[in-house]
Every structure is written in C-alpha cells, then in structure tokens.
C-alpha cells in the first residue's frame, strides 16, 4: 500500500518547508513540493495534513521495557510497558535495558519483549548486561552477544559513580568497552556501552580517562542521567568536545526536574554541544516520591511521554529552536546507535513519522510505514492491551 501525506510542514529535523511525502511500504519513497499520483490505479491512501507538522519518529534509547525498579523490595518492581504507551509518546524506535535488578529480571525476557514490540508494530533493540560488572550476557561474552544476537546493539546500563554499582575499576571498564567495540566492528552495529551515571563525586572521570589515555574511540561510550547536577553537565560538555554523545533523562517525579533538564538543554546549546546531546525517558523505571520534609512517601513510574514533552517545553519557553530541540530525540540518537535508516525524514529512510498539531501536540504516528495512531486515536495496540 502507498500512502501520500500532503500539505504538511516537514522537519527532517532540518526544516524542509511545506512538502508532500510518498510512503512506499516501510520506506519514504519521495519528498516533493507537490506529488501527483493515480490514486485508483496505484491503490494510494491520501492524507491531508494541512496545518500540521511532520517530523521523524522519536528514538528512545533507554527504556525498561520489561519493567524496572525493585530497589525498595519485591513490591516495587515496575510493570512491563504497553505498546500503546510508546505510540502515544511518538516513539517508533526503542532500546530496552535492564537496570539495578539483573536477578529477578532476565536478558531472555528483555529479548522476548523486544521481539514482541517488533511484532506489534514498532522497532525495538536491547542492551546486553545490567548495572553489574562483570556484565550479564546471553552467550558468556559481550562480543558474541552483539555479533550473534540480532536485537543486541550494545551493553548497558553499566552503573558508575553510584552506591548501587558494583564499584568497577577503570581496567574493568576498559575491557567492557573494548569488547563492545569489537562486537560492533564485526557486526556493523553500534557496539556502544550505555553508562548509568550516579551522583557520586567522581562523575564520569573514568570515561574521560579512557578517551584521554587509550585508543578506544569516544563513540563507544554513552553516559546517561547526566542532568543530575551542574557538575555532570559540565563534564558532559567536556566529553562532547572529544566527540562523544551524552544523554539527559526526561522522566521525573517533580516539575522542577523537567525545568532543570530544559535549562541544561539551553546551556548545552549555548556551549555549542547540542549536536552531541540525546534525550531518553528512562521509561518504566521507578521514581521515588518525597514529601516536603524530604521523607520517602512512595514510588511513581517513569513515563515515556516525558521524552517529547521535554522537547516541547524547551521550545515553548524559548530555550531552543524547534529544529535543534528535535535533534535530541531523532538524528542524534540515530548517530549514537548507528541506526542509519532512522531519525530523519529522507528518501529511502524508514517510514517512521510523527504528525504534530501546530501546538506541538502529537496527532498521528506512522511506524514501519503503517498508521498506528490517527488523530490521537490508537489504531494499533499491544496484544493484551485494552
């Protein structure tokens, strides 16, 4: 089936102007000012998206698709994510990971969930490993996991500078990154190591030392949660100047957490490193809730909807131009993860597309060339989703 999307303002994420887009199967076949086709002869579905905006489908490179949490006991383990939650958030590509809990959560379950999301209608990948060092693996070897297992594109999230980490040495981290790099070279995948960075005073000192004192390319190190504090952001800017990408987490149980994140986005833009910044939601992770006295009172679940909501708020508050903010959830993560057919509106790119209203609310979503949400109504749901 061919789909003709007409009359929308198109951001690739660079602004292309008002364009028509012809979707052929699961690819973008043509982009032009005006496309005319024989609708009847070619069996074309035509959609008029006047007064709307077309952007690439969002890439969320850090989601606990099988659930996260568990640090407060068995009852604090968060549930698996539903397909519909991802679609409503405009996410057409997701990377699943384990977190703290590599005991009651398994890589096998993570893999099965990624395959299920693929079958249900979006694109899903996973990281091998969890917080711990040595990392959990399928095959007993990081390199083998990346080379042999289709869904595995890297390792993570390995915890550093955090009381929940296994306190790995820099030598252990070097070996992990070098094995991931080798797997990437052999398989043509990213071979990236996603580092969970805690609020410890050492920050990403080990990662900076690795890129200064070894031959390992910086592109294989990918630290996340870098918006915990100003010190980490400054380290991230230094890291970016070596050519590395770093990630900010959007889910937060407090409004001031979102405010802080968008202010850091503006700071990165001012320091000319926004092209090296990604946003991820940490969706389905557990978020502690504290009262005004600072006492723990409960848990919430990280929401994938926070991903584009952060982009939207950064634009609405004048901290970033729309094109620049959009890069953090499209082209930038596609570069980190070597997903060359994603994150961009272009000919022969994957037909993963989000249609926005003029107020930047999500109107419709196309994944793998199929309409999965139309005018805010889910067309595709998970197998057991009501």
Give pLDDT, residue 294: 62
Q: Active site residue: 20, 60, 247, 282, which one?
A: 282
* Cα–Cα distances in angstroms (integers) from residue 359 to residues 9, 11, 344, 362, in the given order: 13, 15, 21, 9
Which pLDDT band holds residue 350 (cuts at 50, 70, 90)? very high
Does position 100 have pLDDT exceeding 70, yes or no?
Answer: yes
Over residues 58-84, the mean pLDDT reads 91
Q: What is the pLDDT of residues 104-113, one digit of tens each?
A: 999 999 999 9
Q: φ and ψ at 359, to 5 degrees?
A: -85, 10
What DSSP line would sit under 112-162, residue for residue?
A: HHHHHHHHHTSEEEEEE--SSSSPP-SSS-HHHHHHH-TTEEEEEEEEESS
Residue whose pair of structure tokens reads 């397909």 in the numeric block: 83
Class of domain 57-336: alpha beta
Does the annotation mark 275 as catalytic?
A: no
Q: Residue 137 is encoded by which pair of tokens?
A: 């693996």
Q: Residue 280 is encoded by which pair of tokens?
A: 């991820």
Q: What is the pTM of this model?
A: 0.95
% of residues, the chain, pLDDT over 70: 96
Phi/psi region, residue 228 (left: phi>0; alpha: psi -120 to 50; beta: rest), is: alpha
What DSSP line would sit under 74-109, residue for residue?
A: GGGBPPPPPHHHHHHTTEEEEEE---S-SSSS-HHH
User: Distance (Å, rounded) from C-alpha 116 to C-alpha 114?
Assistant: 5
Q: What is the pLDDT of residues 241-271, one digit of tens each?
A: 999 999 999 986 555 577 899 999 999 999 9
Give pLDDT, residue 105: 93
Domain boundaries, the chain: 2-55+344-378, 57-336
CA angle 296, 230, 276 (to 5 degrees): 115
Give pLDDT, residue 200: 92
Q: Residue 201 is encoded by which pair of tokens?
A: 């005073």
Q: Which of 213, 215, 211 is nearest to 223 (CA)?
A: 211
Give pLDDT, residue 343: 97
Mean pLDDT is lowest, of 176-185, 250-259, 284-293, for: 250-259
**Which is the CATH superfamily of the domain at 2-55+344-378?**
Urease, subunit C, domain 1 (2.30.40.10)
Q: Which residues lie across from 248 on neighbouring strands? A: 279
């Amino acid at each position: 089936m061919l789909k003709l999307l007409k009359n929308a303002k198109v951001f690739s994420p660079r602004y292309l102007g008002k364009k028509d887009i012809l979707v052929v199967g699961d690819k973008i076949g043509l982009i032009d000012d005006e496309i005319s086709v024989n609708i009847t002869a070619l069996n074309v579905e035509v959609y008029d998206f006047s007064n709307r905006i077309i952007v690439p489908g969002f890439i969320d490179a850090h989601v606990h698709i099988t659930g996260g949490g568990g640090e407060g006991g068995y009852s604090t383990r968060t549930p698996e994510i539903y397909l519909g939650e991802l679609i409503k958030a405009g996410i057409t590509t997701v990377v699943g990971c384990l977190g703290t809990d590599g005991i009651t959560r398994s890589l096998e379950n993570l893999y099965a969930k990624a395959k299920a999301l693929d079958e249900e209608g979006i694109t899903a990948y996973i990281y091998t490993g969890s917080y711990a060092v040595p990392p959990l693996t399928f095959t007993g070897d990081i390199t083998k996991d990346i080379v042999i297992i289709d869904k595995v594109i890297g390792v993570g999230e390995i915890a550093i500078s955090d009381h929940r980490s296994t306190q790995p040495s820099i030598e252990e981290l070097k070996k992990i990154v070098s094995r991931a790099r080798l797997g990437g070279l052999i398989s043509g995948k990213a071979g990236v190591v996603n580092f969970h960075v805690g609020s410890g005073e050492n920050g990403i000192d080990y990662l900076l030392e690795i890129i200064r004192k070894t031959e390992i390319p910086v592109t294989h190190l990918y630290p996340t949660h870098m918006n915990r504090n100003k010190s980490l952001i400054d380290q991230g800017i230094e890291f970016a100047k070596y050519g590395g990408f770093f990630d900010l987490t959007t889910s937060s149980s407090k409004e001031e957490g979102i405010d802080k994140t968008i202010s850091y986005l503006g700071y990165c833009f001012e320091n000319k490193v926004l092209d090296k910044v990604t946003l991820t939601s940490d969706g389905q992770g557990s978020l502690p809730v504290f009262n005004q006295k600072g006492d723990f009172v409960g848990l919430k679940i990280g929401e994938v909807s926070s991903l584009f909501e952060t982009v939207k708020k950064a634009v609405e508050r004048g901290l970033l131009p729309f094109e620049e903010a959009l890069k953090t959830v499209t082209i930038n993560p596609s570069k980190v993860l070597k997903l060359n057919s994603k994150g961009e509106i272009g000919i022969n790119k994957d037909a993963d597309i989000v249609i926005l209203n003029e107020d930047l609310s999500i109107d419709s979503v196309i994944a793998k060339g199929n309409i999965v949400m139309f005018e805010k109504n889910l067309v595709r749901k998970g197998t057991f989703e009501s």
